[in-house]
Structure 1
Amino acid sequence: MTSLATAQRSLADPVVRHPLWPPLTEGCPVTSTDEVAYPLEIDYAYDRVPRELFTAPAAPAHGLERWAPLLPPLAAPGLGEGGTPLVRLADGVYVKDESRNPTWSHKDRLNRVAVGAAKASGAQGIVVSSSGNHGASAAAYAARAGLPCAVFASPYAPPAVASFLRAYGAAVLTVPLEDVRPLMRRMVAELGYQAVSSLTDTAHTGHPFGPEGYKTVAYEIFLELGRVPAAVYLPTGYGELLFGVTKGFTELVRLGLADSVPRVHACEPAAAGALAEAMRTGRPATHVPVGPTDAYAIDCAVGSYRGVVALRAGGGAALTVTDAQMAAARDELAAQGLWFELSAAAGLAGLRVHGSADVDGPVVCVATSSGFKDIATASRDVTYGPMPGDWETVRTALKAVGRAG
């Protein structure tokens, strides 16, 4: 099956359309203003989507190829992304476990699409600014596509992040934050690289093709449940996952496969909350100060219009959760055999803190990335040292974790 993508369309005014190629990575040149760079989305020939797309058995191997008609052209090879499990917790809540992707996060869905777009449009390499998950994923897919990759990473990210990035051959650059976007733009202009994260300062725009990969989360949830859920809670930074998942459910309605779009809720760190501020003030995007938080993967100081569009379409709310609330959700998941980083537990935290018990239908929380990505993982304060080999010491250790009487 081949892509039915037809054009790039402004999110500020859907009437404004641009050719599918090249990807407009700095927002819509027609509708953007000095205050806001409005991102684009991809349009499709929906009337040509094969009816069997949502009834055919899953492909023998995981990968986004299954959904090719409703994605931009997949012009570079994949790594078996997608097809992640929907795990039912003891209380009936479902967790979509995105840590099972090739680089252990949801970002693989985005980069499968965005890196393919870079390859197809003749880019000489990939450049990305990332706190961790996005950079590791972009580096992996760039390596798979045979493209060099440069990652502007935070010098304060977990030590394992740099190792993860370099394992794929990426150039890891830890320059001051204020220099990142000017240097990225120079790499695009002078080296022919394509950015798979935002190049703009007025609001997060990001690659127009990438968030389309997140639609497949909605498709999979729909097939796994056999219906649209009543509500979805997911971690939110720049709102690209929120946008993609909401668009996926909207497409199911458009194709006549579902009657309604679930309420899709954005769950942000209380230390930031750019989307919550945009919804409160009615602005398309906002800049907010970021307070101390260990949810480094989603502590975004600038919002994106994509998030605003998604909340309006899905009828969801912009919820904020504290580090303590995310930690409680992370520990709850771990107690049921699921290990995620702090940021990844924001969806379940949002449900536990702000959710309602009278929802009519299944509730899904998207958990985005593995516990291996957390700041404290493998730090010295949690490293196990040698201990005496006598029974009393062992029994005491078991009692400490409630595993002995």
Structure 2
Amino acid sequence: MTYTGVLRCVRCGTERADTDPYAPCAPCLADGVHVNPFAVYDLSGAQWRRDPARPGVFGWQHLLPLRPGTAPVSLGEGGTPLLPLARTAARLGLARLYLKDESRNPTWSYKDRLIAVAVARAVQDGATTVAVASTGNHGAAAAAYAGAAGLRCVVLTLESVPLTMKVLMQSYGAAVVALRAAPDRWKVLAEGVATRGWVPLSGYLSPPAGSNPFGVDGYKTIAYEVVESLGAAPDVLVVPAAYGDGLAGIRRGFEDLVALGVVPDVPRLVAAEPFGPYADALANGFRPGHFLPAGPTVAFSIGTPVATYQGYAALSGGAAATASDDEIMAAQLALAREEGIYLEASSALPAAVLGKLVAAGTIAPDDTVVLLGTSTGLKDIGVTAARLPAVPVIEPTLASLDAVLGKEA
């Protein structure tokens, strides 16, 4: 199996050579729709098993958009555990519930999969500078992998992002600047791509289309690993969703497995989101540039009011569900206390919508369900701390401890 060097639009099917890979599909652009094209593969004779001699996600390099001889840019990403959530499953009446814990990646989020592939491709193509518009996880991953590859990295972030995110991006050596409004980041990034030859590791269009299309295929490896761990495809996989990169990549991974005869069907994908653009698109059809009302959210890293076509297409046969800030934070603390897993607020969204999906019948009691936990709660401890009481200071006696605990310790 080889990557063919061809990109195909997920909306209209138009194909083109990958000589200008980061531009949106031209026919769709003429229709007023921003759509990413994706890599086309020849799957004849392909095997989906990983090569243990290659590091990280590059164990699946034969299923990634890279030449066979391209050197991996790996920090050991991927291979994350699929953890059973026994107590949560029992509380909700589910037979089999798991969490794919992507907080175990090198920069503590699943963005490492996307960036590892995108940076390896940038090196293959002779790039010197990569750039990203990010509220944190994407930028931290980009900075780390660019540093490992010896590339210059420019991160365009927002003034409002948590200090931890900014410190991570700067510590990995990126040139980090903040802007006040999200669309301003895309404007600057688009100019850098057009005039300076920067390789974009994220999207840069408004309305958004999605990220670096080569990098999106890094998320295919999540599907491969889930099937590797379970020995089969799950019935349902719930994913935190913003611009749909994870949804698109994971679906593409399962489509590979269907084409290779490994699994019979793509599982039902569910978008977990704060404001509901995917729920709206599934109910009313995809409307280019349709923005829903939105405001601040604890799930700031996926707080988009607009859907992408790639995310909408990935949800074919699936669903979408929303959760409020209070529901998200309750789910974050429940996962931590019931299962010993502390996720970033945006990553707790799949757990926050799970009960609603069960109540609606979208998830049946006997389904095998996987939640995607995309990032660690350590990226934004402030939002959790605001929901917790102050830690009491006591005298060094058991009586003082008992006074706080309300019972004998």
Q: Which residue does the alignment assign to 1:354? A: 357
Contact 1:236 1:268 in 2 (8 A): yes
**SS, match of residue 26 in structure 2:** coil
Aligned AA (1:112)? A
Aligned-partner Cα distance in 2 for 1:26–1:284: 20
Q: Does 1:267 align with 2:272?
A: yes
**SS, match of residue 184 in structure 1:** helix
Aligned-partner Cα distance in 2 for 1:310–1:7: 20
Q: Which residue does the alignment assign to 2:93? A: none
Q: Does 1:11 align with 2:6?
A: no
Deviation track 1:181-204 (CA, whole Å, cap 9, x = no partner) reads: 221122223332111111211333
**SS, match of residue 174 in structure 1:** strand
Deviation track 1:36-64 (CA, whole Å, cap 9, x = no partner) reads: 111111110111313xx33x6x6267501
- TM-fit CA distance, 1:385: 7.8
* Cα pair distance change 1:113/1:21, threshold 3 Å: farther
Deviation track 1:307-366 (CA, whole Å, cap 9, x = no partner) reads: 111011xx1102111122222221121011111011101112222222246354411111
Contact 1:204 1:302 in 2 (8 A): no
RMSD: 2.3
Q: Which residue does the alignment assign to 1:72? A: 65
Deviation track 1:191-229 (CA, whole Å, cap 9, x = no partner) reads: 321111112113333211111011111110001001111
Contact 2:203 2:209 in 1 (8 A): yes
- TM-fit CA distance, 1:231: 0.8
Aligned AA (2:82)? L
Q: Does 1:112 align with 2:116?
A: yes
Aligned-partner Cα distance in 2 for 1:254–1:396: 63
* Cα pair distance change 1:46/1:179, threshold 3 Å: same
Which of residues 292, 303, 307 in structure 1 aligns to 2:307?
Answer: 303
Aligned-partner Cα distance in 2 for 1:207–1:187: 15
- TM-fit CA distance, 1:144: 0.9
Aligned-partner Cα distance in 2 for 1:279–1:378: 32
Which of residues 136, 142, 145 in structure 1 aligns to 2:140?
Answer: 136
Q: Which residue does the alignment assign to 1:145? A: 149
Aligned-partner Cα distance in 1 for 2:132–2:116: 14
**SS, match of residue 242 in structure 1:** helix
Which of residues 188, 194, 204 in structure 2 aligns to 1:189?
Answer: 194
* Cα pair distance change 1:277/1:150, threshold 3 Å: same
Contact 2:298 2:325 in 1 (8 A): yes
Unaligned runs of 5+ residues in structure 1 are none
Aligned-partner Cα distance in 2 for 1:26–1:188: 10
Kindly report structure 1 stretches of 4+ aligned residues shifted beyond 4 Å. 377-387
Which of residues 327, 330, 334 in structure 1 aligns to 2:329?
Answer: 327
- TM-fit CA distance, 1:76: 4.5
Q: Which residue does the alignment assign to 1:162? A: 166
Q: Does 1:317 align with 2:319?
A: yes
Aligned-partner Cα distance in 2 for 1:125–1:252: 34
Q: Does 1:212 align with 2:217?
A: yes
Q: Does 1:63 align with 2:65?
A: no
Aligned-partner Cα distance in 1 for 2:399–2:54: 49
Aligned-partner Cα distance in 2 for 1:85–1:27: 35
Contact 1:98 1:105 in 2 (8 A): yes
Q: Which residue does the alignment assign to 1:365? A: 371
Q: Which residue does the alignment assign to 2:85? A: 89
- TM-fit CA distance, 1:287: 2.0
* Cα pair distance change 1:41/1:72, threshold 3 Å: same
Aligned-partner Cα distance in 2 for 1:278–1:75: 40
Q: Which residue does the alignment assign to 1:376? A: 382
Aligned-partner Cα distance in 1 for 2:169–2:235: 38
Aligned-partner Cα distance in 2 for 1:249–1:360: 21
Aligned-partner Cα distance in 1 for 2:262–2:287: 31
Decide which moves more: 280-289 or 248-257.
280-289
**SS, match of residue 4 in structure 1:** strand
Q: Which residue does the alignment assign to 1:47? A: 44
Aligned-residue sequence identity (percent) comes to: 36
Which of residues 277, 280, 305 in structure 2 aligns to 1:277?
Answer: 280
Decide which moves more: 97-106 or 183-192.
183-192
**How many residues are treated as equivalent by the alignment?**
391
